[in-house]
């Protein structure tokens, strides 16, 4: 599958420009159509009845209209930056401004794209994990498309030149490798890492990651198979540490290999990557 349709979530936050640059770079590299999506996410009108309702002043309907107008004005500023990027990079693209709940809206629109680009949730937010991670997790679990999450901090001059693939011989990891194939085929270097492969039984074969490296070779991807043992830190932390040591600019990982509820309660690689990523991560479920 080629990357021919890329959707990027844009908003009025400072990190929106970083996401746009990453998405535009991929669109240019793959000759893809780039769609910018700005979501007007307003509270339910029931919010204004009770603790959120002021004693005097405009009614809920007037407040909602004012909030809608303010949000639309912010989206218009973002649209101008998006259209400038299309012109500068000579890309084909389109702009969408949609009202709705952001996670569900991203999921819906992502179904008509090859890849969704979003931002890592603010790791310093006081919102509980389930809500803070929703812009990544909801599209990942319900859109049927891979999600590229761009870290909350840092700049990324390249994306996909050196790729690290997290391999645990699971269904989700196999799906991630397939979804990332266009990026892997365009990479200068690909490393496949199996962590604590002894826990996977016979699924890894005689040499951990060797079989998936052979599969990639048949697709024209030269990949180095590696494996490591992490006893004192979690698999997710080991993966991020290995990525830092190698200096990769993209990490590919299958997401939520077991119950999502269990992941949220006990942690897991997916939650660690979403919370602590230092390079862009392509997730697939």
Mean residue pLDDT of the chain comes to 89
pLDDT band at 233 (very low <50, low <70, confident <90, very high): confident
Measure the CA angle with vertex 145, ends 137 and 177; round to 5°.
100
pLDDT at 60: 75
Q: Which segment of 126-135, 184-193, 267-276 scores lowest on mean pLDDT?
A: 126-135
In tens, the pLDDT along 245-282 reads 999 999 999 998 655 554 443 348 899 999 999 999 99
Residue of higher predicted confidence among 283 and 58: 283
Query: Average of pLDDT values for 190-210?
Result: 77
Cα–Cα distance, 167 to 57 (Å, whole number): 58
Q: Which segment of 44-48, 61-65, 254-258 scores lowest on mean pLDDT?
A: 44-48
Is pLDDT of 205 > 80? no
- Contact present, 152 and 14 (Cβ < 8 Å): no
pLDDT at 82: 98
- Contact present, 213 and 224 (Cβ < 8 Å): yes
pLDDT at 49: 59
Range list of H helices, 90-224: 102-110, 129-132, 134-142, 171-179, 181-186, 210-217
- Specify the DSSP class assigned to residue 54: -
Is pLDDT of 154 > 60? yes
pLDDT band at 129 (very low <50, low <70, confident <90, very high): low
Residue of higher predicted confidence among 62 and 93: 93
Which H or E run includes 245? helix 235-246
End-to-end CA distance of the chain: 16
- Contact present, 164 and 243 (Cβ < 8 Å): yes
pLDDT at 264: 44
| CB-based burial, 76-109: b 16+ in 10 Å, e otherwise | eebbeebeebbeeeebebebebeeeebbebbbeb
Cα–Cα distance, 258 to 252 (Å, whole number): 18
Q: Residues near 191 by Cβ (< 8 Å), separated by ≥ 6?
A: 162, 163, 164, 165, 223, 224, 226, 246, 248
In tens, the pLDDT along 88-127 reads 999 999 999 999 999 999 999 999 999 999 999 987 777 6
pLDDT band at 128 (very low <50, low <70, confident <90, very high): low
Is pLDDT of 135 > 80? yes
pLDDT at 263: 45
Percentages of the chain per state (helix, strand, coil), in multiples of 5:
45, 20, 35
Residue percentage of the chain with pLDDT more than 70 = 86
Structure tokens at 108: 């819906």
Q: Which segment of 90-94, 125-129, 161-165, 219-223 scores lowest on mean pLDDT?
A: 125-129
Residue 22: closest CA among 120, 142, 127, 128: 120
Is pLDDT of 232 > 90? no
pLDDT band at 31 (very low <50, low <70, confident <90, very high): very high
Q: What are the extents of the domains in the chain? A: 5-150, 162-284
- Specify the DSSP class assigned to residue 121: P
Cα–Cα distance, 217 to 211 (Å, whole number): 10
Report the CATH superfamily, name and number, of domain 5-150.
Answer: HUPs (3.40.50.620)
Cα–Cα distance, 10 to 106 (Å, whole number): 11
Q: Residues near 29 by Cβ (< 8 Å), separated by ≥ 6?
A: 160, 186
CATH topology of domain 162-284: Rossmann fold (3.40.50)
Residue 263: half-sphere exposure toward Cβ, Cα within 13 Å? 20
pLDDT at 9: 98
């Amino acid at each position: 599958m080629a990357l021919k349709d890329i959707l990027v979530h844009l908003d009025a936050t400072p990190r929106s420009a970083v996401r746009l640059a990453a998405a535009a770079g991929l669109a240019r590299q793959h000759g893809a159509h780039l769609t910018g999506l700005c979501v007007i996410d307003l509270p339910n009108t029931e919010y204004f009845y009770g603790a959120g309702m002021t004693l005097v002043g405009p009614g809920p309907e007037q407040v909602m209209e004012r909030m809608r107008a303010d949000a639309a004005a912010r989206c218009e500023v973002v649209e101008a930056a998006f259209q400038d990027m299309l012109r500068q990079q000579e890309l084909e693209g389109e702009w969408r401004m949609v009202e709705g709940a952001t996670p569900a809206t991203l999921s819906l629109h992502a179904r008509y794209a090859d890849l969704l680009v979003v931002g890592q949730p603010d790791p310093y937010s006081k919102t509980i994990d389930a809500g803070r991670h929703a812009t990544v997790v909801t599209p990942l679990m319900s859109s049927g498309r891979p999600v590229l999450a761009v870290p909350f901090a840092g700049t990324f001059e390249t994306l996909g030149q050196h790729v690290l693939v997290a391999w645990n011989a699971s269904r989700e990891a196999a799906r991630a490798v397939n979804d990332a194939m266009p990026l892997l085929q365009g990479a200068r270097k690909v490393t496949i890492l199996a962590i604590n492969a002894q826990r996977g039984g016979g699924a890894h074969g005689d040499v951990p990651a060797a079989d998936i490296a052979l599969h990639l070779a048949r697709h024209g991807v030269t990949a180095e198979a590696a494996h490591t043992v992490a006893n004192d830190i979690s698999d997710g932390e080991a993966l991020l540490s290995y990525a830092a040591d190698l200096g990769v600019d993209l990490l590919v990982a299958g997401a939520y290999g077991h119950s999502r509820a269990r992941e949220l309660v006990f942690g897991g690689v997916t939650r660690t990557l979403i919370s602590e990523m230092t390079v862009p991560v392509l997730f697939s479920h």
